[in-house]
Amino acid sequence: MSNPQNNLDFDYRYGFAMPQNYTFKAKKGLNRRIVAEISALKNEPAWMTEFRLKSYDIFTRKTIPVWGADLSKIDFNDIYYYIKPTDKQVNSWADLPAEIKETYDRIGVPEAEKKFLAGVSAQYESEVVYESINRELDKQGVIFCDMDTAVRKFPDIVREYFGKLIPPPDNAFAALNSAVWSGGSFVYVPKGVTVTLPLQAYFRINDEKFGQFERTLIIAEEGSHIHYVEGCTAPIYTTDSLHAAVVEIIVKKGARVRYTTVQNWSKNVYNLVTKRARAEENAIMEWVDCNLGSQVTMKYPSVYLMGRGARGEVLSIAFAGRGQHQDAGAKMLHFAPNTSSRIVSKSIAKDGGRTSYRGLVQVMPGAKNSSVYVSCDALILDEASRSDTYPYMKIKENEVAVQHEATVEKLGEEKLFYLLSRGLKKSEAEGLLVNGFIAPVTKEIPMEYSIELNRLINLEMSGSVG
């Protein structure tokens, strides 16, 4: 193992933001030349350069959506679109530059946990610098690498699927991501292969005014099975940041994919993510989506149920505190017979925070014997907070079972009194009730994440998180 020569003897400070040693720092703002430069720096094939430039042109013609959260304060000229933290990729944890390790330690990626992970792909700034692929994955023929590497090493497969499920014209932020994307994961699971442990990736933004545009593509071949987990935590900054990711997932016949997100961006981030999956015959796609952080989130994971018997599920949690707006939901599109979808959404608004459930369920003509289940519950903790529900249903087939439930409740004074009478402090009682409210979703996510989530909720309730 070679001893890395770079940047190891810097003066460590106990601040949360680490000193940065970039080898390249782009200028703020965006134009065709910067897009071409990003592609050139990455040594990309011509087709990708073209794809980026075309996407940039589309982005310039797109309008920013006004039907959801307020996005008017995003200044697209005040954002860095690409930063490359180190020159080379590293293969083992030991080779990681110390400051990057420190950053991950602060997030709390435990040393011991690594043993249990099937692979770790840690994104620092906009490029994946650490990546460890378990031998077992290699043996099974599973590919798990960062998207940049995939473009170089597996061009045929990437070209076949990249930007097909979410083409650049889909929406302004998909177009923007397509133009300037960097990092993210590429996962390919061969036919019949089951990956038993969840694949995990840790993301964070670590530069002021730096936007992050990762791109993830997952292909699950026939009868394969995989669980992908992404979690992100970021330090608190004073100026706005933009996170606009794109995630595309292809779930082939009889395959099953679960994609779990625990999102805790700092409270100044605009988190505008497009997530879409295509489920073929008897395939199962499950999105588990937990949104705690960010200033504004707009995210509606969707499943296109294309094959007979396909099943889609979205389980989501949204928490909005002071100054936050979580506009989240799900989309289910039934194109084939015997398809089923289930949406369970739990949202919590506190200290003037705002949550919106925005969902679309569409059943196409001919999607007979399909079933739809939508349940959205909102919890409002005080008078200053707000919650809205926009559940759209377009059912164009008669032989369909549709079930829809929606509740809005306040944290009951009687329940609080009950717990206080047992000796719990008010913040403990609130934390317990809120965690109980989201339990149907948290019990579906890996334990270390649900513990972290419960802890974050308790911190929010005790008011010690700003």
Partner 1 sequence: MLSLNNLTVKVGNKEILKKISFEFAKGKIYAIMGPNGSGKSTLAYTLMGHPAYEVASGSLRLKNEDILSLPPEKRAEKGIFLSFQTPLSLSGVRINQLLQLALAGKKDPLTLRRTVQKYAKALKIKEELLTRSLNDGASGGEKKKMEVLQAAVLDKEIIIFDEVDTGVDIDALKTIAQFLDKTKGQKTYIIITHYQRILKYLKPDKVLVLADGKLRKVGDGKLAKLIEKKGYEDVINS
Q: How far is the CB of 466 from partner 1 (least distance, A)?
A: 24
Sole window of 163-171, 209-217, 325-333, 417-425 interacting with partner 1 (rule: CB under 8 A): 417-425
Nearer to partner 1 (CB atom), residue 48 or residue 433 = 433
Does residue 413 interact with partner 1 by CB under 8 A? yes
- The pattern of x and - marking residues 362 through 401 that bind partner 1 according to CB under 8 A reads ----------------------------------------
Question: No. of H helices and E strands in the chain?
Answer: 11, 23
Sole window of 164-172, 202-210, 313-321, 412-420 interacting with partner 1 (rule: CB under 8 A): 412-420
> Smallest Cα–Cα separation from 384: which of 421, 354, 364?
354
> Smallest Cα–Cα separation from 35: which of 214, 209, 180, 245?
180
Cα 213 to Cα 35: distance, rounded to the nearest angstrom? 13
Nearer to partner 1 (CB atom), residue 97 or residue 431 = 431
Token pair 């597996």 is found at 154
> Smallest Cα–Cα separation from 289: which of 442, 120, 129, 116?
442
Q: How far is the CB of 346 from partner 1 (least distance, A)?
A: 10
Q: How far is the CB of 447 from partner 1 (least distance, A)?
A: 15
Nearer to partner 1 (CB atom), residue 4 or residue 440 = 440
Whole-angstrom CA distances from 235 to 22, 41, 101, 204, 207 are 19, 28, 15, 8, 9
Does residue 422 interact with partner 1 by CB under 8 A? yes
Nearer to partner 1 (CB atom), residue 356 or residue 435 = 435
User: Which of positions 423-462 make contact with partner 1 (CB under 8 A)?
Assistant: 423-426, 428, 432-433, 435-440
Nearer to partner 1 (CB atom), residue 24 or residue 417 = 417
DSSP labels, 379-431: EE-STT-EEEEEEEEEE--SSEEEEEEEEEEE--HHHHHHHHHTT--HHHHHH
Please pick, from the candidates 419, 448, 462, 465, the single residue that binds partner 1 as defined by CB under 8 A. 419
Cα 445 to Cα 462: distance, rounded to the nearest angstrom? 24
- The pattern of x and - marking residues 319 through 348 that bind partner 1 according to CB under 8 A reads ------------------------------
Contacts of residue 18, Cβ cutoff 8 Å, sequence gap at least 6: 99, 100, 102, 103, 206
Q: How far is the CB of 409 from partner 1 (least distance, A)?
A: 10
How crowded is residue 241: how many other Cβ atoms within 10 Å of its Cβ? 24
Q: How far is the CB of 430 from partner 1 (least distance, A)?
A: 11
Q: How far is the CB of 352 from partner 1 (least distance, A)?
A: 23
Does residue 463 interact with partner 1 by CB under 8 A? no
Q: How far is the CB of 426 from partner 1 (least distance, A)?
A: 7
Q: Locate 395 and state its tokens.
A: 């059912």
Contacts of residue 147, Cβ cutoff 8 Å, sequence gap at least 6: 181, 183, 184, 185, 186, 214, 215, 216, 217
Sole window of 118-126, 175-183, 395-403, 406-414 interacting with partner 1 (rule: CB under 8 A): 406-414
Are 178 and 52 in contact by the 8 Å Cβ rule? The answer is yes
Contacts of residue 320, Cβ cutoff 8 Å, sequence gap at least 6: 326, 347, 348, 349, 350, 353, 354, 355, 385
Q: What sign does the dihedral 7-26-203-239 (CA atoms) show? A: positive
Nearer to partner 1 (CB atom), residue 224 or residue 347 = 347
Q: How far is the CB of 462 from partner 1 (least distance, A)?
A: 12
Does residue 421 interact with partner 1 by CB under 8 A? yes
Sole window of 82-90, 236-244, 359-367, 419-427 interacting with partner 1 (rule: CB under 8 A): 419-427
- The pattern of x and - marking residues 168 through 207 that bind partner 1 according to CB under 8 A reads ----------------------------------------
Does residue 47 interact with partner 1 by CB under 8 A? no
Q: How far is the CB of 439 from partner 1 (least distance, A)?
A: 3
Question: Which bin fits 144, alpha (ψ -120 to 50), beta or left (φ > 0)?
Answer: beta
Q: How far is the CB of 438 from partner 1 (least distance, A)?
A: 7
> Smallest Cα–Cα separation from 446: which of 291, 277, 275, 259?
259
Cα 7 to Cα 256: distance, rounded to the nearest angstrom? 43
Nearer to partner 1 (CB atom), residue 116 or residue 417 = 417
Residues that bind partner 1 (CB under 8 A): 412-415, 417-426, 428, 432-433, 435-440
